Structure 1
Amino acid sequence: MTTSYKVKFWDIRTNTRADGTGKKPRIVSHTVRWTVGNREKSQTFKTKGLAESFLSDLRQTAKKGEAFDMESGLPASMVKAKDARTWYAFAVTYVHAWWPHAAAKSREGMTDALANITAVLAKDVAGRPDAEMIRKALREYSFLPEDRRPAPTPEVAKAVKWIEAASLPLSALEEAKHTRAVLEALALRMDGKAAATSTYRRKRAVFHHVLEYAVELEELSANPLHKVKLRKIKATGEIDRRSVVNPLQARDLLTAVTYVGRSRGQMMMAMFACMYFGGLRPGEASALRQKDCHLPETGWGYLTLEKTLPETNSRYTDSGESHDERGLKHREQRATRHVPIPPELVKILRQHVLEHGIAQDGRLFRTSSGKPFPGSTVSKVWREARTYAFTPDQVASPLAGRPYDLRHAAVSLWLNAGVHAPEAAERAGHGVDVMLRVYAKCIDGQRDVANQRILDALAA
């Protein structure tokens, strides 16, 4: 940018147009004129008030000693403001930059959080679409790579146009009030009720990462989140011990699953058994292949976990399917995990392969068309099985409310049985510190042991 401090201002010129012979010319516009160096510059406005305001801004800036850009004729601060990106434009750029490096579930979480944030960082411009349409336009169009975007409906196109025009500049986040407004919005659900602490922290983490990226690109001087404090109860991630089933209840549930549907429940039972007896995550069980299983006729077997099939919306996956094959959670892409499994699960898996066979790619659990079971189908089967296995009071309780609770029950069982924490963590694919924090309240019987030790010490 070539700049100059040599600036001269002229009077505002009034522009008129003749409306006909004998009639007084009509004022149509007003032009602000000035020179930067030896170059003449001008800008025309519809009303005199706007022209006077603009000229006043130029004069005040020159009085402060700010240099003017020779090309545009504007002060350097105005050029910067004019060229500054909006939050919306920067968020789109961020999505494009990070999409290739993120897993499908992370992409979904990223776009979900950015949709919340972008709706807040907008000016009060006429024609604002309703919240649901803004969210739809952002998640299903704007925050997708260009080669994945569907043809926008007229409603979506209109909403996108409004967002582009109304979005605040990224630099507005230097003001704490805008950053706080975002945090307060993230702390609420769509219905206005308080969001879960874990949800708030997840979305705040996305916001923090976007702002760090802006600082890295020197579009913000510092991360404005560091200036705003919004108290939110820290999420411990502890498991509700009321959701943990005992071995008898777990077996009753697995039996009840086989009663659901003509064959769906029977084909899923072994998958649920892997979550309970092996402590597998649902995505790990879904990806389990025959070659991953060592199933001797007697005694313990083991599973070698290598892949996981988490489910998300197909627009976020590389394959275009709702299940995207990934490496194990929190591990390198080619890392594996060895999980010993008790004879009871070995027998269940051997029987499953004998009765139901395997998919073409070797997976144990699949629909009649060979695809992984949809999460909605799994949840439906599980809800029905709970009504068969539990009393009405238990059905209304958190007890095994989700299939994932079988994994929680498995790890809790191992810890209660006295399995050393590092071994239990290795089987579950957890860090030891995370496992002990999450399952601390599900370890039964420790209080009585501690009480007795204290009494023994006092007696001594």
Structure 2
Amino acid sequence: MKSTDVKFWDVRRNKSSKTASYEVRWVVAGRQRSRTRRTKALAESFLSDLRQAAKSGEAFDIDTGLPTSMLPKQVPVTWYELARTYIKAKWPGAAGETRKSTLDALATVTPALVSSTNGAPSATVLRRALLHYGLNPPRWKFPVPAEEAAALKWLGSRSLRVTDLAEADVIRSALNAIAVTMTGRPAAATTVARKRAVLYNVLKYAVRERRLLDANPIDQVDWKAPEKIEQVDRSVVANPAQARQLLAAVTYVGRLSGRGARMRAMYACMYYGGLRPSEAIGLRRQDCELPDLCACVGDCSCDLPASAWGRLTLTKSRPRPGRLYTDSGQSHEEKGLKRRPVGDKRLVPIPPELVRILAEHLEQFGTAEDGRLFATSTGGTVSASAVWRIWHAARVIGLSPEQQTTPLAGRPYDLRHACATLLLNAGVPPKEVARRLGHSVEVLWKVYAGCLDGDEERINRLIEKALAT
């Protein structure tokens, strides 16, 4: 901030110092300023410079008290320097997944903001150098391998100044960079939107906190990101018979080692309980209320019910951002529920079918030392890659060749989509469906509106009735 509201006082002897010195005093926008000089002549000369600046109409910087002509000359800040400053400021309070997505976006756009590509390292080396060293604050203290060090040195010498991004062509080149993959193919709309958000926030930081730009240049450019498709594709949703078939197929994957059998109950939690994969991975025995059910065949005299609902109390999740992005250096991190305050809980009723599956799982595999239901044979955390590999193998076993070529249950996450669709089509109130899945009613309708049964037929009947009148 600057102001022309300036007043000056005469030079005075500095009585607080044992050695002789003289104090120059003035006021800028009501804030008193002072500077000390060793001699009266030097003090009066400095005061004269201030008076001349004010007389010529210069604005004075309120923070420093100096006129524009006397402000220290700043070395231009490059985009690479800004990106490092931004990630350092945001790193401590960010979750691992947020760190990962931020670095991914910055590693995409930073190589595009250079003055020249002469002598550029390969895109793969430069990206690795940025993710592992250049943009990763905890790793700045580590020695950098020669190849990556050379790549970062090249980038540092050619990175554009932040002020260059005010040019429309420059900021458009940055936006174009996030719109394609490393192979040059169009990036997914959700990926583009995520990376654009990171770029926008870095530039907002440059405007508001660093004052390197007068306005966010993205707002000045006519550039449109591809439209995001937020609705779930109905073709990915498995019906109950298909879901049971796939859950059975999981047990045949790695049958000798039991790898698939260990995972069946976890996939079942996604389908019958609507859990996110990270929530299922973090599920503990103490989170489960599992009533004892009758396991007798034929007539029995036990007092146990044949079916009863249980309940899961979700408090934690275990996402896997990767060891580059966690404080512990482990691939997974333990955190609360997504978009919930720390310590918040979500109660999820579970049907008798899932109660039985979980009881069978506990009887056969027990729990990890910390109470987790789903762990590797050595008690470790189940990796995201294992969740994907076993599910894809189960699709080969559980689906027909024709079905395997379709998107049907193509990802483990599609089991959660199938759960939401099942509940909505069963007539469960949307507010309750949203509560069980852990998001808002607005998101529920936005994502699952295309998966509801009956609307087309009902609307067709209404039109027929109108045409008949």
TM-score by length of 2: 0.80
Matching residue of 2:279: 284
- The separation in 1 between residues aligned to 2:438 and 2:380, in whole angstroms, is 25
Q: Please say if 1:355 is aligned against 2:355.
A: no
Please list every run of 5 or more consecutive structure 2 residues that lacks an aligned counterpart in the other structure: 1-44, 46-56, 60-67, 293-306
Deviation, structure 1 residue 453: 3.7
Contact between 2:134 and 2:140, CA under 8 Å: does it hold in 1? no
- The separation in 2 between residues aligned to 1:141 and 1:177, in whole angstroms, is 29
Q: Please say if 1:345 is aligned against 2:354.
A: yes
Matching residue of 2:393: 384
- The separation in 1 between residues aligned to 2:286 and 2:350, in whole angstroms, is 15
Matching residue of 1:255: 248
Please give the per-residue CA displacement for 1:186-232, whole angstroms capped at 9, x wherever unaligned: 11111111111111000000000001111112111111110012123
CA RMSD between the two structures: 2.2
- The separation in 1 between residues aligned to 2:460 and 2:93, in whole angstroms, is 51
- The separation in 2 between residues aligned to 1:327 and 1:66, in whole angstroms, is 54
- The separation in 2 between residues aligned to 1:352 and 1:76, in whole angstroms, is 75
Matching residue of 1:223: 216
Letter in 2 for 1:439: Y
Matching residue of 1:187: 179
- The separation in 2 between residues aligned to 1:350 and 1:170, in whole angstroms, is 59
Matching residue of 2:34: none
Matching residue of 2:147: 155
- The separation in 2 between residues aligned to 1:109 and 1:148, in whole angstroms, is 19
Residue 116 of structure 1 aligns to a residue whose secondary structure is helix
Please list every run of 5 or more consecutive structure 1 residues that lacks an aligned counterpart in the other structure: 1-37, 39-64, 68-74
Contact between 2:346 and 2:436, CA under 8 Å: does it hold in 1? yes
Percent of pairs with identical residues: 48
- The separation in 1 between residues aligned to 2:266 and 2:141, in whole angstroms, is 35
- The separation in 2 between residues aligned to 1:211 and 1:418, in whole angstroms, is 46
Contact between 1:148 and 1:315, CA under 8 Å: does it hold in 2? no
Deviation, structure 1 residue 78: 11
Letter in 2 for 1:144: N
Residue 362 of structure 1 aligns to a residue whose secondary structure is coil
Alignment length, in residue pairs? 391
Contact between 2:133 and 2:139, CA under 8 Å: does it hold in 1? no
Q: Which of 368, 375, 379 is residue 370 of structure 1 equivalent to?
A: 379
Please give the per-residue CA displacement for 1:378-432, whole angstroms capped at 9, x wherever unaligned: 2111111111111111111111111111000000111111111111000011111
Deviation, structure 1 residue 84: 1.9
TM-score by length of 1: 0.81
Matching residue of 1:265: 260
Q: Please say if 1:112 is aligned against 2:104.
A: yes
- The separation in 1 between residues aligned to 2:177 and 2:70, in whole angstroms, is 31
- The separation in 2 between residues aligned to 1:186 and 1:417, in whole angstroms, is 41
Deviation, structure 1 residue 445: 1.7
Matching residue of 2:235: 242
Q: Which of 92, 96, 116 is residue 84 of structure 2 equivalent to?
A: 92
Write the mapping of 1:322-333 to structure 2, written as runs, cut at 5 A: 322-333=331-342
Following TM superposition, the consecutive aligned residue runs of length 4 or more in structure 1 with deviations greater than 6 angstroms are none
Contact between 2:285 and 2:373, CA under 8 Å: does it hold in 1? yes
Q: Which of 278, 291, 294 is residue 289 of structure 2 equivalent to?
A: 294
Deviation, structure 1 residue 234: 2.2
- The separation in 2 between residues aligned to 1:448 and 1:256, in whole angstroms, is 34
- The separation in 1 between residues aligned to 2:336 and 2:387, in whole angstroms, is 22
